[in-house]
Structure formats: C-alpha cells, structure tokens
Structure 1
Amino acid sequence: MRWLTDPAYRPGALIFQRGIAVIYLMGFLCAAYQFRALAGERGLTPVPVYLRRVSFRRAPSIFQFHYSDRFFAVVAWSGVALSATVLAGLADVVPLWTSMLLWAVLWVLYLSIVNVGQVWYGFGWESLLCEAGFLTIFLGNARTAPPVLVLWLLRWLLFRLEFGAGLIKMRGDRCWRDLTCLYYHHETQPMPNPLSWYFHRLPKPLHRVEVAANHVTQLIVPFGLFAPQPYATVAAAIVIVTQFWLILSGNFAWLNWITAILATSVVDWRAIARTLGLPDLPRPTAEPVWHQALVIAVTALAVVLSYWPARNLISQRQRMNASFNPLHLVNSYGAFGSITKTRYEVVIQGTEDPEPGPDSEWREYEFNGKPGDPRRRPRQFAPYHLRLDWMMWFAGLSSVYAEPWIVPLTEKLLQNDRPTLRLLRRNPFPDAPPAVVRARLYRYRFTTWRERRETGRWWDRRLVREYLPPIGLRPTAGAAR
C-alpha cells in the first residue's frame, strides 16, 4: 500500500519531530522547576488532595497510582532526559517500534502531568502538545517514509488551531470586527516582552492592518493547507511568518512556536532543496504492514473524535481551548476571543510590622515575567512558561481565578517557603519572613514616548483598590475581594 506513505515529506517530518522534542523538553523543564511549589504535596493546590476527588477515568495519569514530590521529580527529569535524547536523534537510529515507544513514553509522561496540573495546566497549548505529541508517535523515523494519513491529521490539527482562533475572534469582541483590538492587546496581553512597548506605540493605521492580516491568516489561509503543492507550502509559510511576528511581540509560552512547528510538516522541503541545488536525502523505506495498520486505526479514531471539535467550530457558542476527552486528543482551540482594554495587576506586598499602620513600610514582591516595578523593562521568557505569572494576570481580571491559590500563596510568603520563592524574581525579605502580607490592585499602562524619555519608566500605574486585606501568619479565613 504505497499510497499510504510519501517519502517526499520525510525532511518535513524530521524537522517537525525535532521541533516537538524541543517543546517537550521545555514542558518537562517547566514542570521540574515549578510543579513542586504549584501543585506538589505542600504546593498551592496539592495533587494528593486533587486525586482524592478525581478518578482515573476522568484524569488518566500515572500519578493516580502513586504521587510524591520525589516521584514527580523522577518523572519530570526523565522527561527532560528523554526529550534531549530524541532531539539529539536517538529515535532515528533505533528500530521503528523502539522509536514509537520513545515518543509514546514522552506522551504518557506529559499527559500524566497535565491531567493532575489543575489550573496551572489549563492552557490551550498543553492540550496542543498532547495532541501533536500523540500524532508524532505514528509519524515514523528517518528510516521510514512518513504516513500520508498522519500528515493529513497534522494539517487538520493546524487547521483547527488557526481557523478556530479566527472564528472565536469574529464571534467575540467587536474590536476584532472593527480592526481596533491591537490598540490595546500589546499593552494588556498576559505577559509583554521587550518589544511589546514598541509594538503598542506603532501608528493606529498599522494596528488595523495587523488585525486585517490576522483575519486573512486565520480565516482564509488555513484552507490552503489542504491544497496541492506548492499552494500548501505557501499557506504554511504564511502561518510560520505570522507566528514569528507574534513571537516578536509577546510571551505566549510555546503556543506560537508549536504552531510554526506544525506548519513545517506541510512544507515541501524536498522541492525547496532541489530549487536551491541541495543534495537529496536518502530515500526512506516503506513502512511495515503492522505500522500501516496502526496508522489506519489511529486515523479512524481521530475521525470519530473530530465530530465534537468540528461541531464546536460551527457553533455560535464556540468553546475556546476545550478538550472533549481526558486524553486531550482532537481538541478545539482559539485565543483572545475578547480583548482586555485596561490592564490590572495584582501587586503583593509585605511588611515587618505585625500591626501595620499608615507609617508602615511595605515592600513589593517581584515576579519574573509579570509587570511590577514600573522601571523594569518586560523580559523575554517564551517558550518557557511562567505559570504563576500567567495566573497572576488572570487574578487581575477577576478574583474568581485566584480563589483556589491566592491565600495559600500569601501563607507561603509569610513562611519564606523556598520552593515558592524560587518562582519569584525577588524576595524583599531575604533574612526573615514578613509579619503581614497584603495584595493591592493597580491599573497599569505603557508610558508614552515622552514619559519614557523623562522618567525612564516602561509603565505608569495607579492604585485602584485593596485586593487582599493584610494577612498574618495565622489569618482568619479570607478571600480575595
């Protein structure tokens, strides 16, 4: 059944697989360094507590059988090591069944983390990595021709990702339809990067052009992914260029990176190599029959599971970043259906005064990525994902997002808890913990060109209100206002 494979796409498949290995590596590194403080045994939302009320069927994970911080560290660092070896090419020098096993282990380990990660792993790119990682298992290695059916499933994934994002915008905030969303987005996005201030200060007519180009890329170009070559390559190239524009303007973890990586699987790299006069790669062998049978079975499963995301795409009540099964296969995607027009930031402060008064000195905790000190320039972290910083952005939108973890966070700060402090950029109480901690809500905006020159500040901020009242080490039950 030679029609089931296409050797011409082996270069693209290899590039795609290396890219997925990089994203896996980043995901496992984030887990190794952050998970203990966020959801470990003594974390802000402890996994053992979560597992007592969630069944294996609802959240399949190896941690359903056993969880400890030490065991989690073994899993996370094993994922780091395996990702690195696959990135180095291990999967291409072993037999096909071994290569598939390596990719399958990566998928199982990361799915296990996602399914117990709770709010810290509720982002769309987690499901995206799970779905793309699952398809990677069946893509073969350098010795085999890539299966055509898997290549089409990757295109179907990229189509849902881009077209779903386009539809959610057109159905959502009016500013997407009147082309004004980028008047606000670069300033109010979850985590600006070093160039976001400059993007925000671009002329408004150019912002309107950006939005219009975004609509073309997400609502028209995705259909070109299913066209014959070279049109599919052109469509994929447009997606890649657009994603790098987004990478330049913001910190969206690995969302833009994995989208660009997906698009590389569509590109006809062999035709490009011939155009450039480069030597062709050795012709891979055909897949064994057992592998072809597996690919057909997986394709049939994907077709069945596609019913729910396809129905979601045409629904007027389209859901954004929704998984319809606990394995996170064939999901719906989309982002920024509504745009925040005003930026609010929760600023956490502490004092050594056990009974704070008007004259008490309050010192601020600094986070790595989220805005804090108005003089500090936004930093670049993506594709690394600062999970607490992102959730702090959501907390500024509504205290509902912060209810499960904001009070536990203040309690950890009152104890100078080391794992928690490792998530921060600066602890203003290095010698002894504060006596009292509070949180205040500020309105942030980017400074103008003139303000930037005169003050050296990237941000201007104004106090809005108290967010969390002062809490001591033994506070009475409280909640964010």
Structure 2
Amino acid sequence: MEAGRADTQQSGLARVRWWYLRGLGLIFCLAFASLLPQLPELLGPQGLSPAAEWLDWGRESLDGAGRVLQLPTVLWLTGADTGALRGVAIAGFLCGLLLLGNVAPRYALVGAWGAYLSLLTVGGPFLSFQWDVLLLEAALVSLPLAPGHVWPPRVATEPRRGAVLLVRFLLFRLMVLSGLVKLASGDSTWRDFTALEYHYWTQPLPNALAYLAHQLPAWMQRASTVAMFVIELVVPFLLFGPRRVRLAGAALLALLQVGILATGSYGFFNLLTLVLCIAALDDGVPRGARVPRVDGSDAEERRVEGQGGQPVPATGPVASRLPWTRRSRWATGVFTAFALAYAVLALSQDARRLLGWRPPEPVATVLGAVGSFRSINTYGLFAVMTTTREEILIEGSGDGQTWREYLLRWRPGPVDERPRFAAPHMPRLDWQMWFAALSTCRDNPWLLRLQDALLRGEPQVREFFRDGSLPETPPRYVRTRRFDYRFTDLATLRATGAWWTREERGAYCPPLTLENGQLRRADP
C-alpha cells in the first residue's frame, strides 16, 4: 500500500514539473517576443531611455567588480547598441524555447534569467514593473526543480518535493502580499469595498470586457471586492493543506487571475501567476501528460536502478513504474541551504515593506548585496486605488494654431473607439504613459525625448503610434494636454457609440519646438 502511494505521488510530481517548466519556458518566450520589437525605440542609442547611458554612469560612478555586481548585464561585454540589445533578447527567447522543449532545462533557465536580467538592469522606467522582477524570481526558485540533463534521456527521475514547495511559497507570498498591501495602505476604497467601482476604468489599459464589468451594480462590485480579499488573504494558506483543499485553493487563485486577465492588459503577469499555480497540483492532475525523462547524471539525483543494478526501462508513463529516487546528502544539503536562505531573505523583504521592520545586520547586508539581481522581491499591485483617470494626449502642429492628435497604439483616444486587448503583449510606452499622468512633466524626461524625436521626425518613434496617426513631415510644435476620461453607461454607448467621456484638464508639458537643434519652450 505504501509503495503504491509513493508511486502515485512520484508520477504526480513528475507531471507537475513537466507542465510547470514548459509553462515557464512559454512565459519567457512571450516576454522576450513582446520586448524585442520595442528595444530600439525604448533602449537603443536613439531611444527614450538609452541603455548606454546606464553603462556610462556605471563607468563613471562604480569601480571594478562593483560595476558588474551593481549593474549585472552582459551588455558590459557587447555594448548597448541596437544589435546587442536585440541579440540579448533573441538569446533569451531561444533559451525559453529550449526550456519549452525540455532541452537542457536547467541551463536554459539560467540563460533566460541572465538575458532578462541584462535587459532589466538597463531598462530604466520601461522595465520596472512587478511582473518583470516576478519572472526573475520565478526563475530563481525554479532552479532546484529544473533537471540537469542536456537532451531528454531514457531514465526518469523524481522531482524534489521541496523544490515544488518552494514555487508554492513564491505563489503564496505573491497573493498574500497583494492583499496585505491594500489593507496596510489605509486606502478608503479598499476598506469600504468600493475599489472595483473605480478599477475597471482607471486601470492602465482597460479593454471592452472591463467596460462591461464596470456596468455591474454597486452591490456586485463590493461583493467582488470582498471575494478578492478572501482569495488573496485566505486562500493562499490552502496551498499547504490536504490534497482536495490545496486543489480547491489553486482553482480559486487561478479563477482570480483569469478574471483579471479577461478585463485588463497586464502583459504576461496573469499567465505567469497561472503557471505558478501549477505547482499546487499533484497526482493525476493533469492526467494524460507524458512524464518527462530526466538524466540520471543529474547533479541532484542518482540514477534509478532496478534489481541487479540495471536501469529501469523508461517506457510509457515511466514514473508510475519507478521506486523512490535516492539523492546524495550533498545535494540535499545544498538545496536545504538554498531554500532556507531564500525564505529568510524573502520574508525579511516582506516584513520590511509591511511593518517597517529592520532586519538583522547580516540579513540586511546580504539583501543589499543581492538587490541588484532583482530576484528576491516584495509584491503588491494597486495598494492605493486610483479614483480618476487622466490621459496625456500628444498633439502636433505646423503653425501653432491647428493641432493634430497623435494616437498611441493601445491607449484610449477618440471617445467612440472601443478599448483594445493587448495582453499578453506588454506595450511599455503605453503603460508608462499611465504612470506619467500621476506625476509631472519634469518627472518624466523620456516624454521630453519622445517629443524631441517627433519634432525631428525620427522614424523609429512611428512604431509607438497608430498607422496614419503621424504626418509625413515632422511638426513645428508639439504639446501634451491632460484629459479626464470616464466610461460611459450602456445607454450612452447604444445611443451615441461613445465608450468614453472626456474633459480637458489643462496642459501637461508646455508647447515645445526646436531652436538651433535644441528643444525649447514655444510660444506659438
């Protein structure tokens, strides 16, 4: 009986590992595929936040090895021109494909992590989102789970149960922190459960389903907020419960992510969280998956042998036929040290953010040393709910009298235009424009660079705007104005076709022009 239970659990862990690592490989592919076409315009030599400026700053301000440790990027070796940036992204994408194909999974995971870290390090405001660092942290905690083979071999091995628990721990922290930061912020809309009455239309990139969700009655919005708090604050504890409880918890967490994914565009964030939910599955879930074949020369695991020391044949659903895999004490010790160190550092980060707790000096020192690698983080989106929506509209003019609106590809523009779906693509300029509206023109030098590029007619900025939005010849003047946007109701949509109402709130940046090749304030 005990042997049967062991075999069942072993098979389940093998399936979980197989699906989880394939999912993580897919997320890396999506992340790099979305970022690759945006790199020249965002981080290239003529981009809005050139990566080369970070390297120049490092050369001037940092010494020796500290330069690499504080700005960890392979661009130190390749330079930061457009070709190098694309090369790093392509290499990361290929590593994602290798992970997706179960080819050298451990090495592919390290390669994808290194490539993404290299770009994030020099990404400035355009690679500063929580899902960017979550992807790096997911890769870190997944290393003990990734097999060490190069090509899928013929001998199956058992995933380490503790490695699966480590991924569950990351999912637990992500969800619980998302709930706690909302309560800790003191924001009134979270405390009176009215936050979702604002969320759907004030979020960065709403879509058509968000418009419909906004039309739900107030009591349903408040009930949804209560349900969200239960899922974020209570359900994660079920991840460590008995089988049925754990699976129910994973289903509820997944349901929340599907709802967010359906009503907003958060890049690969929700898909990545769904992949993390796979770690909560076990034997028989999912059924029918082919159990992976993992190299017996894996540094963490010894080859499984049958009677007489002969390898057990790896045919069919291998893991269900194999006894428990034995591991070396050295490998177990290394994993235990890694897991404990990660748990201490991660929980210290969380306590510092939520409670203002100062970790002991040794812990604080280590946190400072590893901070630049962005792989142990703290989380929590929308701690304070925005209750208004301001859009920054960019306009150009040839005479200072007649102005033409330049429409970004994904942001709201004309009021009669249906909100668009962007996920899993992450349009990083469009997202950053939402944050810019919460601050001032001076706080966003990249927006001044964008206007400068428009005045110069630089061709690469056309990629940010909708086809036909920019004139053939560059404008003489550009300006940015703030507008208050709100969703209409269904009656207005049916009567007028307007999804939005908008009202001007004044200038954001002053009108600008070029004088002797320099960006200057204009008085048209």
TM-score over 0.5 (shorter chain) = yes
1:103 to 98, 101, 109: 109
Separation in 2, partners of 1:443, 1:461: 5
Matching residue of 1:66: 78
Whether the 8 Å contact between 2:514 and 2:520 is mirrored in structure 1 is no
Matches within 5 A, 1:218-297: 218-270=232-284, 273=287, 281-283=317-319, 286=325, 289=328, 292=332, 294-297=334-337
Separation in 2, partners of 1:309, 1:407: 35
Whether the 8 Å contact between 1:16 and 1:261 is mirrored in structure 2 is yes
1:121 to 111, 117, 127: 127
Separation in 1, partners of 2:10, 2:441: 50
Deviates further, 107-116 or 300-309: 300-309
Closer, same or farther in 2 for the Cα pair 1:271/1:106, shift >3 Å? closer
Separation in 1, partners of 2:474, 2:37: 22
Matching residue of 1:331: 377
2:456 to 415, 428, 444: 415
Matching residue of 1:43: 47
2:387 to 332, 341, 352: 341
**Residue 13 of structure 2 is aligned to residue 12 of structure 1:** no
Separation in 1, partners of 2:457, 2:325: 59
Displacement of 1:135 after TM fit?
Answer: 2.5
Displacement of 1:476 after TM fit?
Answer: 4.7
2:33 to 14, 29, 32: 29
Matching residue of 1:75: 88
Closer, same or farther in 2 for the Cα pair 1:144/1:477, shift >3 Å? farther
Counterpart of 1:57 in structure 2: which amino acid? L
Q: C-alpha deviations, 1:383-437, integer Å up to 9, x for none? A: 2111000110111111168522111010111223222211222353342111111
Matched residue SS, 1:426: coil
Whether the 8 Å contact between 1:217 and 1:238 is mirrored in structure 2 is yes
Closer, same or farther in 2 for the Cα pair 1:310/1:168, shift >3 Å? closer
**Residue 212 of structure 2 is aligned to residue 198 of structure 1:** yes
Matched residue SS, 1:127: helix
Matched residue SS, 1:341: coil
Matched residue SS, 1:367: coil
Separation in 1, partners of 2:37, 2:337: 37
Matching residue of 1:277: none
Matched residue SS, 2:372: coil
Closer, same or farther in 2 for the Cα pair 1:308/1:371, shift >3 Å? same
Matched residue SS, 1:348: strand
Whether the 8 Å contact between 1:164 and 1:334 is mirrored in structure 2 is yes
Matches within 5 A, 1:388-427: 388-399=429-440, 402-427=443-468
Whether the 8 Å contact between 2:398 and 2:475 is mirrored in structure 1 is yes
Whether the 8 Å contact between 1:414 and 1:473 is mirrored in structure 2 is yes
- In structure 2, runs of 5+ residues without a counterpart are 59-66, 289-315, 359-366
Matching residue of 1:312: 352
Counterpart of 1:366 in structure 2: which amino acid? L
**Residue 161 of structure 2 is aligned to residue 157 of structure 1:** no
Displacement of 1:288 after TM fit?
Answer: 5.7
Displacement of 1:312 after TM fit?
Answer: 3.1
Whether the 8 Å contact between 1:407 and 1:478 is mirrored in structure 2 is no
Displacement of 1:271 after TM fit?
Answer: 5.4
Matching residue of 2:341: 301
- TM-score, normalisation: structure 2: 0.82
Once superposed, what is the RMSD of the aligned Cα atoms?
Answer: 2.6
Separation in 1, partners of 2:390, 2:230: 31
2:191 to 169, 177, 180: 177
Closer, same or farther in 2 for the Cα pair 1:269/1:459, shift >3 Å? farther
Separation in 1, partners of 2:357, 2:423: 31
Deviates further, 254-263 or 77-86: 77-86
Closer, same or farther in 2 for the Cα pair 1:366/1:74, shift >3 Å? same
Whether the 8 Å contact between 1:345 and 1:443 is mirrored in structure 2 is yes
Counterpart of 2:167 in structure 1: which amino acid? L
Closer, same or farther in 2 for the Cα pair 1:177/1:269, shift >3 Å? farther
Whether the 8 Å contact between 1:447 and 1:459 is mirrored in structure 2 is yes
Whether the 8 Å contact between 2:206 and 2:265 is mirrored in structure 1 is yes
Separation in 2, partners of 1:317, 1:58: 24
Closer, same or farther in 2 for the Cα pair 1:291/1:6, shift >3 Å? farther
Whether the 8 Å contact between 1:144 and 1:287 is mirrored in structure 2 is no
Closer, same or farther in 2 for the Cα pair 1:437/1:267, shift >3 Å? same
Matched residue SS, 1:461: strand
Counterpart of 2:461 in structure 1: which amino acid? T
Whether the 8 Å contact between 2:351 and 2:357 is mirrored in structure 1 is no
Number of corresponding residues: 458
Counterpart of 2:335 in structure 1: which amino acid? V
Matched residue SS, 1:331: coil
Displacement of 1:56 after TM fit?
Answer: 2.1
Task: State the structure with more CA Rg.
Answer: 2
Displacement of 1:443 after TM fit?
Answer: 0.4
Closer, same or farther in 2 for the Cα pair 1:271/1:400, shift >3 Å? same
Closer, same or farther in 2 for the Cα pair 1:43/1:272, shift >3 Å? closer
Separation in 1, partners of 2:341, 2:128: 24
Separation in 2, partners of 1:440, 1:287: 66
Percent of matched pairs sharing the same residue: 31
Closer, same or farther in 2 for the Cα pair 1:397/1:346, shift >3 Å? same
Separation in 1, partners of 2:234, 2:132: 26
Separation in 2, partners of 1:49, 1:427: 32
Separation in 1, partners of 2:467, 2:199: 27
Counterpart of 2:204 in structure 1: which amino acid? P
Matched residue SS, 1:425: coil
